[in-house]
Structure 1
Amino acid sequence: MNRRRYLARAGCLGVIAVTAGCLASESDGPDRAADDRTGDRALERAVGELNRAALALDEGLDGVEDSEAVDFDAAEPRDLIASAREHLETAATALPDDSQPDVAELRAYADVLDGMLDVAVTITDDTLADDIEAVTAAIEADGRIQEATRTVDERNATLETAADRLDGAETTLDALDGDRLADLSIVDLARVEEGLDALADVLGSMATLGSGYDAMLEGYASLDRGRTAAEDRSHETAIEEFEAAESAFETAMAAFDDGAAAAPSGLVSYFETARCQGDTLETAAGHFEAASNAAASGDTLTARRRREDGEAALEDAAACSS
């Protein structure tokens, strides 16, 4: 890099808030023609806007552990990144070959910020609470399991897409040339890495919660089919369905237990409710299975008692969110 250009930029280095508004000196020397500085100016403006985008992300995601409480607005950082990319296009055209690595590095850095932005939008989506409420209602009262399953499937697909974006951003960040970016006056990459880690923690917990709900709804569907078969006195079919339900609830509980141990503050209550539901539903499935086994062997008294125990467990599941 041209040393004079570097020194002009270095005077603006410092804390992120200062760096974010920093543009290099307008004059690299009296002998340079204005058109010769077009690429330099574009590169410097791209740096300033990328730094401001990083600052906006940093401020907007403060307290992201409670993602529902974060009022995140993606518009400002998204506009800044888009503008920076336009300046980089200009720089790529105007600068000589020995400056092209700078342009490429800044484009890669913009890719990291874009990935972070997409993940941030996903985890701060305020419809998450509505989706969980719909699933909880289906399990506790209204029984609209198919609708709840579609809701969970759509949410899990969104989380999977965000996870892919996060992986891409992490891979790109790892490959960045920190020294080159520091020479260009880009903010400390350690701050960016911290932001990615925070996003990964929340996203990972959401994905675990989603996988647990997926298994729990699968179990509830089996439980419902088993109860229908039991009413029709198809006891062998009922037993198979109740066994499948217990297995699915066990899988759900394993996911909820794993997720609860590392859940960020904003998701703790969701895990607690889900674990309560999964535990009581697994208990209910066990009672219904025992009732069908007793009915199959002609023990109607035991069958009736265990069926009542199962119904009571279902009522317990309905009280988990209260």
Structure 2
Amino acid sequence: MQSSSDLFPVALISAERRGDLSEDAYRLKPGNSPDGTVELVLTRLGLADAPQSRGVPVVLLHGSFSNRRFWYSPKGIGLGAYLARQGFDVWIPEMRGHGLSRRNQNYAKNRVADYARYDLPAIAAFVCEQSGQVPHWIGHSLGGITLAAALGGQYLGAPAVASVALFGCQVSRAWWPLKIPLVEWGARFILKRFSRLSGTRLKRGPEDEPIGLALETMRWHGLFGRFGDAEGDWWAGLAEVGVPLLAVSAAGDYQDPDWACRKLYEQVGSEHRQYLCLGRKQGFGGDFGHVEMLVSKAAQAEVWPLVQRWLRDPLAPLVGSPPQVIAAL
């Protein structure tokens, strides 16, 4: 089959109509990683009755233990579907071993460093090629952390990023026992006996995560740890980031609390940046949680319209504007 891209081998593996939406899934084989077996599936959502009409591209990155269904359900409900109906060109990658993306040969060793250095630049190149425009990026939880690593490591920049929105994203909440070398060593010894963490067993989500991610996170929070890898300090690099930023926390999020999300936001050097905390004290209908901030009827009514406003004009202020409540589907 002829490749759908001039950049690297890409195959259109499915093209479906989902009600008023079109769903095209592409399998990318970038070949830019030390593991040559890496394949990524990238799903594009658009309006079925306007297949040639491509709006502003938006890339949505799911969090840990998740897949493309975080952004849109089989019934066509979700932020991804909402944005497609608003005329945006929506692209939803599934990271290595998630959803339609197969597990690579070295799956157990996958890290944020690999996603940021190899996978996100390949996704950016393909979306830019297909749309002819620079995409906006939205990441939730681990997806946002991966975006922050790619920006701080200078793997992604202005030529491939129009703006960035980080939801429930932080790297500062530390587990203090990991600062004790003996405790960290013991935890590493135990974890290395496994190849993956089961999302279903841990009741965290439908997908598994490679053990490499857990080991990498432990290194960040160790005694002399930092947000980065052997080749760079991503935390320091965030101070050099210049693209518009929206950082969003949730008042009821105990996994990635407001103070930690704010600390990441304050580290980013963008001239145009905004911060929102989704809570009752901030004028919202309730205190949102880690998932509910994007997947709930309340989010559909109060948060999704704010995301659309941000994407229309990342330089226009959202802070101080009361949320416009719309009727949920």
Q: Say yes or no: TM over 0.5.
A: no
Q: Per the shorter chain, which TM-score range? A: under 0.3
TM-score, structure 1 as length reference: 0.24
TM-score, structure 2 as length reference: 0.23
Greater share of strand residues, 1 or 2? 2
Greater share of helix residues, 1 or 2? 1
Greater Rg by CA: 1
